[in-house]
Structure 1
Amino acid sequence: MLAAGWLTTRALMLWLLAHDQYPLLGRGGVAREVWALYFHWYGVLSHGAFPSGDRLWQYPPGAGPVLLSPAVLPGLTYFQAFVVLTLLTDAVITLALARAGTRPGRSLRGAALWTAGLPLLLHIPLARYDVQVTAFAVVSLLTLSRSRRVGGAFAALGALVKVWPALALLGTPRGRGTREAWTAAAVTTVTLLALLATLFRNPFDFLRQQGGRGVQIESLGGTALMLARRAGWSGRTRYQYGAVEFVGPHVHAVAVCSLALTAAAFALLLLWRVRARHWTPATPYDAALTAVLLFTVTSRVISPQYMVWLIGLTAVCLTSRHTTQLAVAPLVLAASAVSTVEYPALYGDVINSTWVGCLLMVVRNGLLASAAVLSFVRLWRSGRRPTPEPVEADIPPGNPDRVPALFHTSG
């Protein structure tokens, strides 16, 4: 049943991608990201250098090998090879979630959510490399219970591609397990950065481009500016840094507020980790979802493809019967569905801040904000429970690092 569902939904996503020239599917804009922009970067990277002085290049060095990967399928065009590799990665995620769900004490709900949830984003996941990034985070979380070092290494690989998978390690239980995971992540990061710096020129140029980003129209701050625009604010929109952003009076102040909210979210997560006294097998999963939700909501940019991350992490949570995030899943799925109405279907309304565009962004970002708050509250409460829950059967016997983590009562 799961395999049939995956094949059917992915065939539909491929059909949408093949017909994305239709107005409601983006007039070709979704696919253009791959065959124009990614292919351009592929040409630069294939000559041994990262893009330099390119405002659109805002990704860590690990993104380079991902964008070069279509070269392993020489019989196809760059676009075709990219889509094939994305589908293969999607299948790997599905298999990993299904395998995790068949273990004693686990559930197949995670695999089902990923299979049914990703198509809510239409063809967008096939034309972005966020599925590949999500795969690193999913594999990292699912392997943590068996090997902290392997989980840490995969988190580092993902972080080198798009930073946020590093948050997969936030919920590792205190003690030896955390030290092993974070040490493995650090060693992997340093080793690969050194390797990429040796093989390519300008590996850190992306840092100059990140600092100049403003407030994207789809962000929470962008929603506030959209409503202000309807009330008479004189700002306007402009395509820059790879996104449509607001420019005008007070935009910088909104961007600073977003950064302050991100810092506050980080402080809350640290406070949770310091004060949490109870871990379950699902705590690393739940903490990762909470962290990415908080950082997404407070970000200056909330592109539709970010929902791929949240669907993937929600799916990981649902593989465990101990998860506290069941109520968060419907909010993530609803936000994903609304995201594809605002982009690509009605993106013109969002750019022009029409009342329809404002309503879509208020609903989408309201759902995300609600999911983030609910996720954090449930994570916080789960960490204060006085009575530990039983250990899942998939934890190997004889490893003292796994079992005591559930019964820690102090740092």
Structure 2
Amino acid sequence: METTAWRRSLTGLLLTWGVTRLLLLLWVYKVYVFPGPDVTSDVSVIYQGWYDVLRTGTFPQDDVTWQYPPAAALAILSPALLPFLEYTQAFFLIAFAADLAVLALLLYAGLRPGRRLRGAWVWVVGVPLLGPTVYSRYDVMVTAVAVAAVLAAARHPRVAGALVGFGAMLKVWPALVLVGIRRRSVWAWAAVTAGVVAGVFSLAMPGAFAFLTFQRERGTEVESLGSLVFHIARHHGWSGSVLLNYGSVEFLGPWVTLVSTAALALTGMAFGLLLLWRLTATRFQAHTAADAALVAVLMFTTTSRVISPQYMVWLVGLAAACLCFRASRMGLPAVLVLVACFVTVLEFPIWFADVVGSTPRGIGLLVVRNGLLVLATAIGMRELWRDTVPQQPLPTPPPSPNQTETPAQEAPASS
């Protein structure tokens, strides 16, 4: 009976993946038009423009929208692997292949003794909740690398370290996978791999680290937690504006710098809390690396000046990796992430005009989505702390002088 139920679950999972991914492909190839603005324009306009520059052997140094580490060039150039297709068509297929790779990793991990298929279900369900944006950004490729690193951490530390280092050179955030890993070999391989990749690109292509300046000068994006200040302030006479700036739609005007600085301060406080946890935790188990990675990326995402829809792909991937482990305590944060994905597709792209216009519906969607992320972050940190930091028993107070024991008086003899 158990074998039959397991086979039915696996069959249902694969069928669900196939149907939902076919729908995603139909959307990005525009067989069916997804409501809202065209999310594939980033591939056909921005990515393809970068592709034309990168093919000449240099990074797009004069383009402020290029804000990625040097190995991101490999993702942008990857459609060259399918030269018989147009750039956009090839990119969508490679994104699809990365999605399939994540599923294969989660299935392999979930079918091992002591594991479960819950993680694969999180990925199968979570990705289509974000709509065609998933296949229109290279983040699904980065997520595949990060998920592979998390799942390899316990049994293949050198492989995990190399994947973390390479992932960090793709889009920085996979470096957070190291937060919950104690093995020095993982850290060493990550550092060596990142150094080698950075060195090769620095020598081979000019402008490998121009992205650092562009990232530093970004403002407050309209979907971030801090943006709620200005969405509400616009209804009370705030004189700023919303413009496309540094590749995203941002608020510009009075107090924006202050809110952006506050967001950076919150990120610093979040990493301070992670450091405190790291110094205090003593119980590191097989699932700890995945749980800690999810919590760390949740903290980074929630406090960031920018919460682009594709950031949710990272969270879905890491939540899925967590739930491959039976002992993981990230069940509730994973559910909150999935609900946040559904709200995300409503605010972008479906009702993005409401978000940009700060309408009640747009503000409401942001409050719900960002509130879910804050709640997931708080619960995740609490569960991670309880799982890894031993609870100190309260010291017993010494007895007061009035409570000192005295010999009992003899009872009077009965007459």
> TM-score, structure 2 length as denominator?
0.90
Question: In structure 2, how many angstroms separate the alpha carbons of the residues matched to 1:148 and 1:300?
Answer: 33
SS of equivalent residue, structure 2 residue 331 = coil
1:297 to 297, 302, 316: 302
Question: In structure 2, how many angstroms separate the alpha carbons of the residues matched to 1:47 and 1:168?
Answer: 33
Question: In structure 1, how many angstroms separate the alpha carbons of the residues matched to 2:111 and 2:294?
Answer: 22
AA matched with 2:332: A
2:120 is the counterpart of 1:115: no
Question: In structure 2, how many angstroms separate the alpha carbons of the residues matched to 1:235 and 1:380?
Answer: 41
Match in the other structure for 2:163: 154
Distance of aligned partners of 1:70 and 1:349 in 2 relative to their CA distance in 1, 3 Å threshold: same
1:361 to 366, 376, 379: 366
2:248 is the counterpart of 1:237: no
Greater CA drift, 367-376 or 189-198: 189-198
TM-aligned CA deviation for residue 232 of structure 1: 2.5
Question: In structure 2, how many angstroms separate the alpha carbons of the residues matched to 1:195 and 1:41?
Answer: 19
2:27 is the counterpart of 1:16: yes
Question: In structure 1, how many angstroms separate the alpha carbons of the residues matched to 2:285 and 2:217?
Answer: 41
Q: Is the 8 A contact 1:20 1:27 kept in 2?
A: no
SS of equivalent residue, structure 2 residue 251 = strand
Any gaps of 5 or more consecutive residues in structure 1?
388-411
Q: Is the 8 A contact 2:29 2:89 kept in 1?
A: no
Equivalent residues in 2 for 1:202-217 (5 A)? 202-217=207-222
Q: Is the 8 A contact 1:21 1:27 kept in 2?
A: no
AA matched with 1:274: L
Q: Deviations over 1:318-366 (max 9, x none)?
A: 0001101011111100110000000101111100101111111001100
SS of equivalent residue, structure 2 residue 25 = helix
Equivalent residues in 2 for 1:10-409 (5 A)? 10-19=21-30, 22=33, 25-28=35-38, 30-173=39-182, 177=183, 179-385=184-390
AA matched with 2:109: A
AA matched with 1:37: I
TM-aligned CA deviation for residue 181 of structure 1: 0.5
Q: Is the 8 A contact 2:267 2:304 kept in 1?
A: yes
AA matched with 2:213: R
Q: Is the 8 A contact 2:28 2:92 kept in 1?
A: no
For the aligned residue pairs, the C-alpha RMSD in angstroms reads 1.3
Q: Deviations over 1:243-295 (max 9, x none)?
A: 00001111100000000000000000000000011112110000000000000
Match in the other structure for 1:4: 15
> TM-score, structure 1 length as denominator?
0.91
Question: In structure 2, how many angstroms separate the alpha carbons of the residues matched to 1:80 and 1:204?
Answer: 29
Greater CA drift, 225-234 or 263-272: 225-234
SS of equivalent residue, structure 1 residue 219 = coil
Question: In structure 1, how many angstroms separate the alpha carbons of the residues matched to 2:261 and 2:192?
Answer: 33
Distance of aligned partners of 1:291 and 1:44 in 2 relative to their CA distance in 1, 3 Å threshold: same
Q: Give the number of the structure whose alpha-carbon radius of gyration is greater.
A: 2
TM-aligned CA deviation for residue 384 of structure 1: 2.0
SS of equivalent residue, structure 1 residue 234 = coil
TM-aligned CA deviation for residue 385 of structure 1: 4.0
Q: Deviations over 1:292-324 (max 9, x none)?
A: 000000000000110000000000000001101
SS of equivalent residue, structure 1 residue 245 = strand
TM-aligned CA deviation for residue 119 of structure 1: 0.2
Question: In structure 1, how many angstroms separate the alpha carbons of the residues matched to 2:75 and 2:36?
Answer: 25
Q: Percent identity?
A: 46
Distance of aligned partners of 1:266 and 1:107 in 2 relative to their CA distance in 1, 3 Å threshold: same
Question: In structure 1, how many angstroms separate the alpha carbons of the residues matched to 2:31 and 2:328?
Answer: 37
- The runs of 4+ residues in structure 1 deviating greater than 4 Å are none
Question: In structure 2, how many angstroms separate the alpha carbons of the residues matched to 1:332 and 1:52?
Answer: 35
Any gaps of 5 or more consecutive residues in structure 2?
1-10, 393-415
TM-aligned CA deviation for residue 20 of structure 1: 8.2
Question: In structure 1, how many angstroms separate the alpha carbons of the residues matched to 2:27 and 2:94?
Answer: 17
Distance of aligned partners of 1:220 and 1:87 in 2 relative to their CA distance in 1, 3 Å threshold: same
Q: Is the 8 A contact 2:26 2:32 kept in 1?
A: no
Question: In structure 2, how many angstroms separate the alpha carbons of the residues matched to 1:329 and 1:65?
Answer: 30
Q: Deviations over 1:207-256 (max 9, x none)?
A: 11111100000000011211122232222101111100001111100000
Aligned length: 381
Question: In structure 2, how many angstroms separate the alpha carbons of the residues matched to 1:385 and 1:96?
Answer: 32
Q: Deviations over 1:70-123 (max 9, x none)?
A: 101111001111111111111111000000000110011001110111000011
SS of equivalent residue, structure 1 residue 303 = coil
Question: In structure 2, how many angstroms separate the alpha carbons of the residues matched to 1:382 and 1:196?
Answer: 41
Q: Is the 8 A contact 1:213 1:241 kept in 2?
A: yes
Match in the other structure for 1:398: none
Greater CA drift, 251-260 or 1-10: 1-10
